[in-house]
Structure 1
Amino acid sequence: MKIEQIYTGCLAQGAYYITSNGEAAIIDPLRETQPYIDRLKKDGVQLKYIFETHFHADFVSGHLDLSKRTGAPIIYGETATPEFDAIIANDNQIFEVGNIKIKVLHTPGHTLESSCFLLIDETGKETALFSGDTLFLGDVGRPDLAQKTASMTQEELAGLLYDSLYYKILPLPDDITVYPAHGAGSACGKNMMKETVDSLGNQKKMNYALNQPNKGAFIKAVTEGLLPPPAYFGMNVAMNKKGYHSFDNVLSQGLKPLTPEEFEATAENTAALILDTRDHQHFAKGFIPQSINIGLNGDFAPWVGAMVIDVKQPILLITDNGKEEEAITRLSRVGFDNILGYLADGLEAWINAGKETDNVHRITAEQFASEVQIGKSMIVDVRKESEYTAEHIEEAYSKPLAYINNWIKDLHPKEHFYLHCAGGYRSMIAASILQARGYRNFTEIEGGFNAIAATDVPKSDFVCPSKTTH
């Protein structure tokens, strides 16, 4: 028997590849399936089952394409209602894979169909728990994502989650290895550890949600402090439940090279979003007017989902040469399939064709320190509230990037402000959105708060409520 965690940092997502005696199972696969096909062939094993812990909200799973290519059936837990052929397993139903067994534990709460999969090894020992979004390391699945479709409040779903955890998971042996669906950085929880594997015994000791004195306390603890989920989550659930276009077709359509003239005409005729995926350092120096910068070298896919919102939005890509397929792949993972093509030879071709470019007014942290006037200058900090609370520039406003559509309307179009995040990635996303919407009255700070911290600009951990509205 072999268990492999296939972890994707951009999504903070763990898929699992399990083999035993010539057969394999895959749990929560990513959208692109060729790597799994290659791995199965290399190992000389047959895929017997595809297990889905639930209808995912934060990414589009590869279950449908993988099933079509291999013939392996898709398995969900009780109450799941997919709009395609699948096995809906009973609670405690067992599936054999080679010499091992996988037991389905129906654990509603995060969603109604959420299930965990308990692996029983060749000796009959309960060895591993693939806990999906029911149990994370340091946290549990948020109970507010399914409340509309479940016709239940988040408190009612949290109550179901309590029963699932305390009556089905906690009684399991301490030495079981927990393999969650997500780690730190995912929006599916609020307090996840950076580690991606742990023992159940350790989680019983240190996971706050597993140490509540009663059900009421648990419900309060897991529902406190939940941030609004990204808008694309509901659309990803629908795709996972109803079906989607083949990834191969999405890739084929997106890998269409366009000349500057074709690119410009397509942008004008389709109302496509021009998405520039280059590093923020390069974007700042020159870009196609109205384009939005979300760099591949960061949490690209989640930020696209948070900023663009509609997965059906037509998209035109600008990438570094050779990065086109990576960009399309990562977009498809969160359901953005309507990619019309990319600018062949990148921004250089655009410039060589004599087309117009724009740039962002960016200064160094040292320049900022020499000209800012604390108490007089307006400073906009687009980091998360938790980062701002830990330490920030005195008198700076907390305006998290995730809520830019809410606070952008409060900006005075003629009042100058400074803009920063932690290192420049998020502030350049904000800068590109601001300029696309006609705001040019700001200066973005290169290196963000990390660079500012090395200057003598006054910092504080005092939080003024009037500075944190968004």
Structure 2
Amino acid sequence: MTVVETIETSSLGDRSYLATDGEVAVVVDPQRDIDRVLTLVDAQGLQVTHVLETHIHNDYLTGGLELAARTGAVYVLPADSGAEFDHLSVKDGDVLEAGAMRLRVLHTPGHTHHHVSYALHEADGQAVGVFTGGSMLFGATGRTDLVSPEDTTGLTHAQYHSVQRLVRELPAEAEVFPTHGFGSFCSATPTSGTASTVGEQVGANPALTLAEQEYVDALLAGLDVYPAYYARMGPINRSGPPAVDLSLPQRVDGAELRRRIQAGEWIVDLRHRVAFAAGHLPESLNFELGDNLVTYLGWLYRWDAPLTLIGESEHQIADARRELVRIGIDELAGAAIDDMEGLADDGALRSYRVSDFAGLAAELECGPVQILDARRDDERAAGFVRSSRHMPLHQLADRLDEVPQGEVWVYCGSGYRASIAASVLDRPGRQVVLVDDDYGSAKELGLEDEPRGGDRR
């Protein structure tokens, strides 16, 4: 009997899979930190025979090339992927044999031109599952605008037909194993659920419940910005990422840290947003360690700048290191582990206020308040705090001259992006107030205004 194990990467909203018959294993769309896969393989005494990619990924660097080399497995990519290293190229209809498992290749273009899915069959021929990559997701499909603007509409039509094909050719009870769709920006629209079958998708997936043009129009309307680092992932994945290095960066002391700040280097403080607000080194940036770290640090990071981390422990630095190598931030200039007073060494620490939407409401009763909305355009379009100025986080660094001096309250959907924005804004001449609250509270307090005539200012 075939067993499929899920390897979750919640910070990127992705999943990798290990399918095994108890003796041999096949790995699908592995992340770059392959030690997680190797731990599973070693614990069960498995032989990895194939490492499969559904497509060249745009949201992370693959661990497939290194994993195949480490295990002696065949590295399998779709035909016309553009990969520049040795691999087995497969096309529609090809069948791979791995112990008692059979994997049938289905060309499912849409997320990319070359995208394939792998139908998983047991020895008796029964299809028990399908690895759908960025094609059929849970209640959604993969986005279709990552190749080029000129290709987007055509790929959206192709995505519709790919999902329709999966339903035609696979039994309703076959399990669906997507790579994207658990918070990944590779999903065109929000997904729902954590498990599903082909049959369940018939009544839940827009590519199966809408007419073709309705689906195309809905998907295109739902596309919004995606992280800037995506542009770097595809080319590196085609050329082959280097072997991963998870070792800790060199420790630096407070004096060296301050020298690096003065030199304009990137200093990222991983502490919780409230702790950062209470006291931090001037001109350091707060990217709180958690599931959002890699997305937003990767999005905003200036890739040619030396990067030093500040953490509360070696464990915290190691976790951040793992997250960052997943998107190719390999070269860390160092790490500082100490309390803020020790790192400051009698130097001045900066701080700013933390409040919530109730605090903002009380402030507004006293008079006008300068408010900054750091959310995306699609969030802004659904409603915003009255009198707020819109400046998406990913645009903030280039638009600082548009932010007024004096006191500025900054909010987002949960407080995480607002904490990054507050750390960017926290400079002499401004007083920042971080709204550390869920946006739903703004609605409950009656602070929300709705856009009129498409106004997203």
Pick from 201, 224, 238: which aligns with 1:241? 238
- 2:310 aligns to what? 318
Residues 1:435 and 1:113: Cα distance change in structure 2 (over 3 Å): same
- Scaled by the length of structure 2, the TM-score of the pair is 0.91
Q: Is the 8 A contact 2:410 2:432 kept in 1?
A: yes
Pick from 409, 412, 433: which aligns with 1:443? 433
- 2:140 aligns to what? 139
- 2:331 aligns to what? 338
What do you get for the CA RMSD once the two structures are aligned?
Answer: 2.5
Q: Secondary structure at the match of 1:134?
A: coil
- 2:298 aligns to what? 305
Residues 341-386 of structure 1: CA distance to partner in whole angstroms, max 9, x if unpaired? 10133535303x3233222233455543332248832322223455
- 2:410 aligns to what? 419
Residues 268-305 of structure 1: CA distance to partner in whole angstroms, max 9, x if unpaired? 56x53111111101110111211111111341111112
Task: Tell me which amino acid in the other structure corresponds to 2:228.
Answer: A
Shift of 1:161: 2.3
Residues 1:466 and 1:78: Cα distance change in structure 2 (over 3 Å): closer
Q: Structure 2 CA distance, aligned partners of 1:375 and 1:387?
A: 26
Q: Secondary structure at the match of 1:317?
A: strand
1:2 aligns with 2:3: yes
- 1:174 aligns to what? 172
Q: Structure 2 CA distance, aligned partners of 1:381 and 1:57?
A: 28
Unaligned regions of 5+ residues in structure 1, if any? Answer: none
- 1:459 aligns to what? 447
Residues 1:439 and 1:132: Cα distance change in structure 2 (over 3 Å): farther
Q: Structure 2 CA distance, aligned partners of 1:405 and 1:467?
A: 22
Which stretch of the first structure deviates more once superposed, 220-229 or 133-142? 220-229
- 2:81 aligns to what? 80
Q: Secondary structure at the match of 1:247?
A: coil
Q: Is the 8 A contact 1:184 1:191 kept in 2?
A: no
- 2:199 aligns to what? 201
- 2:90 aligns to what? 89
Q: Is the 8 A contact 1:176 1:200 kept in 2?
A: yes
1:381 aligns with 2:350: no
Shift of 1:78: 1.8
Q: Structure 2 CA distance, aligned partners of 1:56 and 1:160?
A: 18
Q: Structure 2 CA distance, aligned partners of 1:463 and 1:375?
A: 22
Residues 1:364 and 1:217: Cα distance change in structure 2 (over 3 Å): closer
Q: Structure 2 CA distance, aligned partners of 1:337 and 1:346?
A: 25
Residues 1:383 and 1:439: Cα distance change in structure 2 (over 3 Å): farther
Q: Is the 8 A contact 1:143 1:154 kept in 2?
A: yes
Shift of 1:51: 0.5
Shift of 1:85: 1.3
Q: Structure 1 CA distance, aligned partners of 2:338 and 2:377?
A: 39
Q: Structure 1 CA distance, aligned partners of 2:186 and 2:440?
A: 27
Q: Structure 2 CA distance, aligned partners of 1:190 and 1:56?
A: 15
Residues 1:313 and 1:406: Cα distance change in structure 2 (over 3 Å): closer
1:162 aligns with 2:156: no
Q: Structure 1 CA distance, aligned partners of 2:117 and 2:94?
A: 12
Which stretch of the first structure deviates more once superposed, 174-183 or 381-390? 381-390
Q: Is the 8 A contact 2:117 2:132 kept in 1?
A: yes
Q: Structure 1 CA distance, aligned partners of 2:60 and 2:339?
A: 28
Shift of 1:316: 0.4
Shift of 1:91: 1.4
Q: Structure 1 CA distance, aligned partners of 2:190 and 2:435?
A: 30
Q: Is the 8 A contact 2:267 2:309 kept in 1?
A: yes
Q: Is the 8 A contact 1:298 1:425 kept in 2?
A: no
Residues 1:218 and 1:448: Cα distance change in structure 2 (over 3 Å): closer
Pick from 252, 260, 267: which aligns with 1:258? 252
Q: Structure 1 CA distance, aligned partners of 2:139 and 2:443?
A: 30
Q: Structure 2 CA distance, aligned partners of 1:422 and 1:229?
A: 17
Q: Structure 1 CA distance, aligned partners of 2:306 and 2:121?
A: 46
- 2:131 aligns to what? 130
Which stretch of the first structure deviates more once superposed, 374-383 or 64-73? 374-383
Shift of 1:313: 3.7
Q: Structure 2 CA distance, aligned partners of 1:115 and 1:221?
A: 23
Q: Is the 8 A contact 1:139 1:189 kept in 2?
A: yes
Task: Tell me which amino acid in the other structure corresponds to 2:425.
Answer: L
Identity across the alignment (%)? 26
Shift of 1:441: 4.3
Unaligned regions of 5+ residues in structure 2, if any? Answer: none
Equivalent residue pairs, number: 455
Residues 5-39 of structure 1: CA distance to partner in whole angstroms, max 9, x if unpaired? 11121111110011114101111111111121121
Q: For residues 14-93 of structure 1, what are the structure 2 equivalents within 5 Å?
A: 14-93=15-94
Q: Is the 8 A contact 2:31 2:62 kept in 1?
A: yes
Shift of 1:209: 2.1
Q: Structure 1 CA distance, aligned partners of 2:169 and 2:271?
A: 49
Task: Tell me which amino acid in the other structure corresponds to 1:263.
Answer: L
Shift of 1:433: 1.4
Shift of 1:194: 3.5
1:280 aligns with 2:273: yes
Q: Secondary structure at the match of 2:222?
A: coil
Q: Structure 2 CA distance, aligned partners of 1:358 and 1:441?
A: 11
Q: Structure 1 CA distance, aligned partners of 2:367 and 2:90?
A: 62
Q: Secondary structure at the match of 2:18?
A: strand
Q: Structure 1 CA distance, aligned partners of 2:201 and 2:140?
A: 9
Q: Structure 2 CA distance, aligned partners of 1:143 and 1:375?
A: 46
Pick from 293, 296, 320: which aligns with 2:289? 296
